[in-house]
């Protein structure tokens, strides 16, 4: 789930809590074969069968809602299997090639659990953490933070120790993912939370507005930096953090956190040079420079003329031209091209046509360690 979906889910939980309305949470905990969404996707279902968020493209939700209403009445959590390959499934005839298991539990039971309350708080803050839920073999629940400090417990201490180690391995992976794992004493589901990806854009020109808008919708935390304060208005960038700063102020006013994505698009050579220098000296994971390759080379030449020659390791993070090759021309098309590249890199994919990609569509190009 991206940041916007998480916000929607937490808002729905908050409204159900305030109104006293009975509700349930449904979570995808296992996937075999192909499915529309991935492990860790959640939805909230109210006692009248209405719901927030989704687990599929819309075909699965009514059946999940029916099962959730039964859980709300009984109070007993269940794991329901949905075989998407069975064309006779509920008369829907989806004909997909996979199966998913959905765990459904009543919301008030969740909120009585200290570990689950801490997990919901971690989701709200965007903390790096892993929620460990037994699917078989043991009982209890465990929250593992990035520093390795666990909250809660499992009924088997040996399994609990192993669960902490596996949770940390997932949190420290290049591309952290939720999923189920088999242990000798049972099966555990690891649900991963993390901060929203940060996108820092240097340059608030007309082409930056659709980029910031779409990036926020895709779950990025967006910061706009420009010396021209008149360009940085809430009307143009209603969902972004606005930083009016000259490049001489970047270190103090526009620091770049490690792991951030950076775009340089000032359309001004000197400002682009200094923005690129600032990004190269930071811990940014990705640095995109708008414009043709020849312009990027001109920026490097300008920096070299002033005595700044970045190392090969720093330059390896730069993408220029920026974006995927989709023939983009308009600002919205360019924004789509750039954000498609950011999503691919963030999730370990190379981009390209799915029709020519072997294997499952959801597995990263680089295996999760």
Whether residues 147 and 267 fall in one domain: no
Q: Answer whether residue 118 is part of any domain.
A: no
Locate 120 and state its tokens.
């919901």
Task: Give the domain-ending residue among 193, 214, 242.
Answer: 193
pLDDT of res. 153: 95
| pLDDT value at 368 more than 50 | no
Measured CA to CA in angstroms, residue 96 lies from 35, 64, 143 at distances of 7, 17, 34
For residues 105 and 164, state if they share a domain. Answer: no
Same domain, 332 and 223: yes
Whether residues 339 and 227 fall in one domain = yes
At residue 99, the pLDDT reads 87
* Closest residue by Cα to residue 272 from 288, 257, 255, 249: 288
Question: In terms of domains, do 222 and 291 share one?
Answer: yes
Q: Is the pLDDT of residue 361 over 70?
A: no
Q: How far apart are CA 158 and CA 169, in angstroms?
A: 17
- Beta carbons of 141 and 60 less than 8 angstroms apart: no
Residue 229 belongs to some domain of the structure: yes
Distances (CA, A) of 221 to 3, 4, 150, 197: 9, 10, 28, 6
Encode pLDDT of 170-205 as tens digits: 999 988 999 999 998 889 999 999 999 999 999 999
| Residue 286 is assigned to a structural domain of this protein | yes
Average model confidence (pLDDT) across the chain: 92
Phi-psi region of 33 (alpha: psi -120 to 50; beta: other; left: phi over 0): left
Are 157 and 219 in a shared domain? no
Give the domain-ending residue among 44, 77, 111: 111
Residues 33 and 149 in one domain: no
Average pLDDT over every residue of 130-143: 96
Residue 351 lies in a domain: no
In a domain, 364, yes or no: no
- With respect to residue 223, please indicate whether it lies within any of the assigned structural domains: yes
157 and 256 share one domain: no
295 in any annotated domain: yes
- In a 10 Å sphere around its CB, with 0-12 CB exposed, 13-18 middle and 19+ buried, how is residue 170 labelled? buried
Task: Identify whether residues 327 and 208 lie together within a single domain.
Answer: yes
Q: Is residue 140 a part of any domain in this protein?
A: yes
Report the pLDDT value the prediction gives residue 57, as an integer from 0 to 100.
Answer: 82
Its sign, for the CA torsion 319, 324, 327, 331, is negative
Residues 285-333 have pLDDT tens digits of: 999 999 999 999 999 999 999 999 999 999 999 999 999 999 999 999 9
Residue 258's domain comprises 198-346
Q: 58 and 167 share a domain?
A: no
Listed as own residue / partner, the contacts of 272-275 with beta carbons closer than 8 Å and 24 or more positions apart are 272/202, 272/203, 272/299, 273/299, 273/302, 273/303, 274/247, 274/250, 275/202, 275/203, 275/225, 275/247, 275/250
Average pLDDT over residues 349-368: 67
Residues 334 and 219 in one domain: yes
Residue 74: exposure state from Cβ atoms within 10 A (0-12, 13-18, ≥19): exposed
pLDDT tens, residue by residue, 58-113: 889 999 999 999 999 999 999 999 987 665 554 455 556 678 999 999 999 998 99
Predicted pLDDT of residue 36: 81
Domain shared by 176 and 281, yes or no: no
pLDDT-based confidence at residue 366 (cuts at 50, 70, 90)? low
Give the CATH number of the domain where residue 253 resides.
Answer: 3.40.50.720
Q: Measuring CA to CA, how many Å separate 329 from each of 208, 264, 311, 317, 318?
A: 14, 18, 32, 25, 22
pLDDT tens, residue by residue, 221-264: 999 999 999 999 999 999 999 999 999 999 999 999 999 999 99
Domain boundary among 82, 111, 140: 111
- The radius of gyration computed from the CA coordinates of the chain, to the nearest angstrom, equals 23
From the list 170, 160, 218, the residue with the least C-alpha distance to 194 is: 170
| Domain count across the chain | 3
């Amino acid at each position: 789930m991206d940041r916007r979906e998480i916000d929607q889910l937490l808002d729905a939980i908050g409204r159900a809590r305030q109104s006293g309305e009975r509700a349930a949470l449904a979570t995808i905990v296992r996937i075999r074969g192909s499915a529309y969404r991935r492990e860790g996707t959640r939805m909230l279902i109210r006692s009248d069968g209405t719901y927030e968020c989704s687990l599929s493209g819309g075909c699965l939700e009514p059946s999940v809602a029916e099962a959730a209403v039964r859980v709300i009445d009984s109070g007993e959590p269940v794991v329901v299997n949905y075989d998407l390959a069975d064309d006779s499934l509920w008369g829907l005839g989806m004909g997909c090639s996979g199966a998913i298991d959905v765990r459904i539990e009543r919301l008030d039971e969740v909120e009585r659990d200290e570990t689950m309350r801490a997990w919901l708080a971690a989701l709200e803050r965007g903390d790096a953490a892993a929620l460990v839920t037994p699917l078989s073999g043991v009982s209890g629940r465990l929250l593992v933070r990035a520093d390795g400090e666990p909250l809660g417990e499992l009924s088997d201490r040996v399994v609990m120790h192993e669960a902490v180690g596996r949770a940390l391995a997932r949190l420290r992976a290049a591309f952290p993912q939720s999923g189920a794992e088999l242990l000798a004493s049972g099966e555990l589901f690891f649900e991963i939370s993390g901060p929203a990806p940060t996108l820092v854009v240097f340059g608030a020109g007309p082409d930056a507005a659709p980029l910031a808008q779409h990036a926020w919708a895709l779950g990025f935390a967006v910061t706009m930096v420009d010396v021209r304060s008149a360009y940085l208005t809430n009307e143009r960038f209603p969902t972004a953090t606005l930083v009016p700063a000259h490049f001489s102020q970047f270190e103090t006013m526009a620091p770049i956190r490690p792991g951030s994505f950076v775009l340089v698009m000032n359309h001004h050579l000197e400002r682009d040079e200094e923005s690129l220098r600032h990004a190269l000296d930071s811990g940014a994971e990705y640095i995109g420079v708008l414009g043709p390759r020849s312009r990027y080379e001109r920026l490097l030449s300008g920096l070299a003329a002033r005595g700044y020659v970045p190392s090969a390791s720093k330059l390896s993070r730069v993408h220029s031209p920026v974006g995927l090759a989709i023939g983009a021309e308009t600002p919205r098309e360019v924004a789509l091209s750039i954000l498609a590249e950011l999503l691919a890199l963030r999730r370990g994919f190379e981009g390209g046509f799915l029709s020519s990609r072997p294997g499952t569509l959801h597995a990263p190009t680089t295996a999760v360690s």
